[in-house]
Structure 1
Amino acid sequence: MTTIAQIGTTLGPDVLAACRQIFDLEQQALASAVPPTATDLAYGPDERNRLDLYGTPDQPAPVILFVHGGGFLKGDKAADGWPNAAVGRWAAEQGWLGAVMNYRLAPDHAWPAGGEDVLAAVDWLAQHAGEWGGDPGRIVLIGTSAGAVHVATALQLRPGLAVRGCVLLSGLYGYTPLEERDTLYYGDASLFLERVPRVAVETAKLPLMLASAEFDPPRFQAEFLGLMQARLAARGKMPRAHVASGHNHYTLAMHLGTSDRRLGDEIAGFVAQCCG
């Protein structure tokens, strides 16, 4: 079986498939042990405004909302069984209510659609999480790749967002130059700097946790370091952070719930710190 180190920092469908194979047995076992509590709950009017819930807390518990990646253009909350759903199942295993959302995709839905959808999902959970054992006053957001951008954009659109904290995994916040692919979401290059959420994440008063992977592409590593430096300059200390050795851009979120507990334990500690 191909190892993550052998794959290196490249991205693409074949790489994603190879990464899935590495964790397939463990994640299929988790999928069998933690089935969804509810699926395709509508948090908005668009057909992509749907989320799934995992876990049945017996007392009000933190709510973890996961926003998947996909380069603004693709991705799904269930993803043929587990890669994105795994984060919701992992949250349920911690005793929390896990929520995994879909959102509108580019190029049909451009900036700030992803951030707007995160806000709509948060608002829905604030109203309904209690029906499923979640505490609507203790919502934590986790986004990976494009999902991290959408979480950051939610902070940009609503600076007083009523969540306890945000976990940003390998996102792009505006510290590196625009790439052609980005224009499918952000629009014309002249709008890039005013639309990226760089200022929002630099100045956010909410607790942030940042993570990158050893084999993230260099652009994503530069973004991680840029935001780390900016938070240090703005607040006088670095945010909680984790560099996942032995992982790449895809496996950073994909492996949550497996026997590699390092990132999961860091996020769990962050949630405990934010939610008491």
Structure 2
Amino acid sequence: MRIFFSRVVPGLLLLTLLLGLSNEYAVARPSRRTQDVAYVPPTDPAFDTERHRLDVYAPKKQAAAPRPVVVFIHGGSWNSGNKNFYSFIGRRLAKQGVVAVIINYRLAPQVEVPAMAEDCARAVAWTAQHIAEYGGDPQRLYLMGHSAGGGLAALLTADTQRLARWGMNPSSIRGAILDDPAGLDMLDYLQKMQYPGDEQYLLPFGNSPAVWRDVSAMYHVTASTPPFLLFVGGETYPSIRNSSEKFRQKLVALGQHPVLQELPGKKHVPMVLQLYWQYNIIYRELLAFVHASGAQSAR
């Protein structure tokens, strides 16, 4: 997860610019967007009027049966990012027969990663409770994330207690799609501190190795953890590539059969930018993974 602040911030600015332009095109696609839904009650003392919200993207075309649901968690080094940047993912998924939920969550320095994970768990629990109203199947939920969001998606998939605390049956989570995930093993990463600038991650993760371990999916996966699809860029940060392979090996040792695909030539930010195009490999694999049907023509 070699994500230097000086390199990631310019990348995120580029991402913001490109996605802002792409959204003008994506907004016309055949989907229905329900925007800025509060997944934490406004009466909750912790309610954040911006960060505790999500968007739902549903296909306009009616289906005979409830559709699979993908909850997408954005990245941004645990200190930046916004669901509004990723409307193109919601619309692309809806266009292909999936109900998509794109969420916000609180960020550092306002909160640390354990609170971010709780926010994401509450968003997933809201989805399980309400997604049938949008044509989604609450028993077929899949978590997806890029970068820091990939680490959070993996954590919620593996650590069933975080979802159960919010009244959700964790068996509703059928799998996870990780796109160049960061944070799969922060205990190892922060103990080594082998890259320049790694001290910055003590802001979102704090100083306790016990916390680093608790928010790392690596230490929660079991033989019964739902299946994973993992994608890493051929030119991504070495630590992301290494931790993803280590994660795969851990799952294999548990008797699982995870899929890990390296996409040649892709750097970290382009790994999410490519999701603007409907026919990239991640969508092709994702649709088979979630057993989506009723995808509309790209034309």
Which bracket does the TM-score occupy, shorter chain normalised?
A: 0.7 to 0.9
Q: Please, what TM-score do these two structures have when normalized by structure 1?
A: 0.84
Unaligned runs of 5+ in 1: 1-9
3-state secondary structure, aligned to 2:122: helix
Query: Which residue number in structure 2 is paired with residue 4 of structure 1?
Result: none
* TM-score, length-scaled by structure 2: 0.78
**Which residue number corresponds to residue 39 of structure 2?**
43
- Note the C-alpha offset of 1:204: 5.2
Q: Which runs of 5+ in 2 are unaligned?
A: 1-5, 41-46, 163-168, 191-197, 293-299
Distance 1:183 1:105 in 2: 13
Q: 2:159: which partner in 1?
A: 156
Indicate the residue corresponding to 2:126 in structure 1. 124
Note closer, same or farther for the CA distance 1:43–1:156 as it changes in structure 2 (3 Å cut).
same
Q: What amino acid is the match of 2:84?
A: A
Shift of 1:212: 0.7
Aligned equivalents of 1:90 and 1:11: distance in 2?
Answer: 28
TM-align CA RMSD:
2.5
| 1:184 corresponds to which of 186, 203, 219 | 203
Aligned-residue offset at 1:137: 1.1
Amino acid at match of 2:62: D
* 1:29 matches 2:25: yes
**1:168 alignment partner, one of 178, 183, 205:** 178
Identity %: 28
Q: Secondary structure at the match of 2:143?
A: strand
Which of 55, 58, 81 is the equivalent residue of 1:55?
A: 58
For the 8 Å contact 2:22–2:88, the answer to whether it is kept is no
Correspondence for 2:249 = 229
For residues 190 and 207 of structure 1, do their structure 2 counterparts lie closer, same or farther at Cα, with a shift above 3 Å needed?
Answer: closer
Q: Which residue of 2 aligns with 1:65?
A: 71
Separation in structure 2 between the aligned mates of residue 272 and residue 58 of structure 1, nearest angstrom: 17
User: Which residue number corresponds to residue 81 of structure 2?
Assistant: 75
Structure 1 residue 20: Cα displacement: 6.4
Q: Shift in Å at residue 193 of structure 1?
A: 3.2
Q: Deviations over 1:158-207 (max 9, x none)?
A: 27623111112222211742132221122105332344221123655211
Match of 1:5 in 2: none
- For 2:39 and 2:117, the matched residues in 1 are separated by 14
The alignment partner of 1:112 has SS state of: helix
Q: What is the match of residue 137 of structure 2?
A: 135
